[in-house]
Chain A
């Protein structure tokens, strides 16, 4: 009797602890929706999501420029960061000598550990003046944010694609080489296509990281609420809208920021479920 109890107790406790993390998720979701939904209902979903004017003091709540902002900065980060990340993971998985690999891996992990405010500060001191002096515009721009976000998503992209290349059955590469392919041919036409779903998942997780980043982009994007005409224009993302205005917001304005959070939540949920479907499809194969 006592032994049975002892055997079961840890399982129960771990279940309770696991439940607490799920319930936190539920609490956050309920909280954001309860706080933000009324204003969306009042303004109307279409007017809120596609509205062009954000002026809380005038009662205008349109977040379309910020959705464009989030998407364009993220796209910029992907365009700049993903090719570098994938090339780096191929290098680490296939070409790097052991000693170099042992140097690169911890360095990349370290990159993931740098706080985002430090990235922001670095961007503000090096990237922003560079863009202002050599490319024009105020410097605080989509480009500045994209460059820094590209660096910030590198660790995610590199480590997950590297793992997915390394996880391939060795027979794939051996077979390709046995058929007379060169090393590069084997990588290009056998290993990369086979690791494709893992690499895609890496990219989607990188996108999730980029779209959710707040602190660094507050410092680098300039936070203007207008549609940009070039990548040198300032812009505001969904996250920075919350970050920059929450300190002062009251009443309806505050609700509108929670509503911005709902939109962000939906976007990130779509991304995460896409990533999971892709990873799952890979396992099913």
Chain B
């Protein structure tokens, strides 16, 4: 349905463009050389056409922007929501948690996605947790190490432990892989694991969960951290380490025994209304939460049932 609507829009836009070209041609008709005339026609046609295209956007579109960790899940949810409510559009964009929150504050986005808790300065905004996502510390499947303590992980990432032999593995150098400054996954990892320590500047930096995972899957001496949901979708590519003896799994996140997890938040400026509210309600509804669970996240409803 949505595709059909877009096609109609495109046809309409093209008709407007053609009309614009005709207007432009008449204006330019009075001008001298052919070359100049053509340039004028093109310029005027483009200007009018662009204006027309801008004017014909549908009204019922909301913009969801922010964390690239939440983005793939939001896209799946948006697709399903559009399937059910074909007259509405959900425009999902990336940008990062901080950018998402800023976009909501400035009114550019209707919903901001955040993969970290809100900072103090951001507390004025309305927010709701849509799911929990564990953080998995991952190594190559053939790495003999399967269990580390939180202190050991901190040691690896602060640079104090630099060889696998210090952890009982084979004696090669550890290739530490981290995310870039500003990433929600990185700040969650810093908050949950590093405490006052810093991630070593020698760490290799990759700019997405996928890139970290690919690198660890290829390199026997690598260690990285990614969204647990992603690991559960590709269980053979990498090995998620047990932390202090607790297996990294959605179930252990729910029960609270696996401590490495962060909230996925939807943030809005004030109580959500209209289409925004419809979409948030859909995400929190049983079908919405089922989609998130199927995609590897820990639904918030499971949490509530446990408490209740």
Contacts and interface: CB of A to CB of B under 8 A. Distances in A.
Contacts of B203: 224
A145 interface: no
B202 A6 contact: no
B222 A250 contact: no
A94 to B, nearest CB: 42
A140 B206 CA distance: 11
Interface string B88-99: 000000111111
Contact of A248 (B99, B202, B206, B218): B99
A212 interface: no
B38 to A, nearest CB: 12
A223 B202 CA distance: 9
B281 interface: no
Contact of B201 (A56, A65, A129, A247): A65
A234 B219 CA distance: 14
Residue with the greatest number of chain B CB neighbours at <10 A, chosen from A6, A53, A223, A248? A248
Contacts of B97: 248
B201 A225 contact: yes
B207 interface: yes
A224 B99 contact: no
A178 interface: no
Given A54-B201, A138-B204, A247 B94 contact: yes
A25 B59 CA distance: 38
Contact of A250 (B33, B36, B99): B99
Given A56-B182, A250-B98, A138 B205 contact: no
A55 interface: yes
Interface in B181-229: 181-183, 187, 190, 198, 200-207, 215, 218-219, 221-222
Interface string B142-186: 000000000000000000000000000000010100001111000
B283 to A, nearest CB: 24
A10 B96 contact: no
Interface residues of A, number: 33
Nearest to B159: A226
A21 interface: no
Contacts of A249: 181-182
B32 interface: yes
A187 to B, nearest CB: 45
Nearest to B95: A247
Contacts of A139: 218-219
Nearest to A250: B98
Contacts of B206: 223
B35 interface: yes
Nearest to A233: B202
A140 B215 contact: yes
Interface of B: 32-33, 35-36, 39, 68, 94-99, 102, 173, 175, 180-183, 187, 190, 198, 200-207, 215, 218-219, 221-222
Given A55-B201, A248-B99, 15 more contacts: A9-B33, A54-B201, A58-B198, A132-B219, A137-B173, A218-B207, A224-B204, A226-B201, A236-B205, A245-B181, A247-B182, A247-B207, A248-B98, A248-B182, A248-B183
15 contacts: A54-B181, A55-B201, A56-B181, A57-B182, A137-B175, A138-B204, A222-B205, A223-B180, A224-B201, A224-B203, A225-B201, A226-B201, A226-B202, A233-B202, A248-B183
Q: Which 5 A-B pairs have the closest CB atoms?
A: A248-B182, A248-B96, A223-B205, A138-B175, A226-B201
Interface of A: 6, 9-10, 13, 53-58, 65, 129, 132, 137-140, 218, 222-226, 233-234, 236, 244-245, 247-250, 253
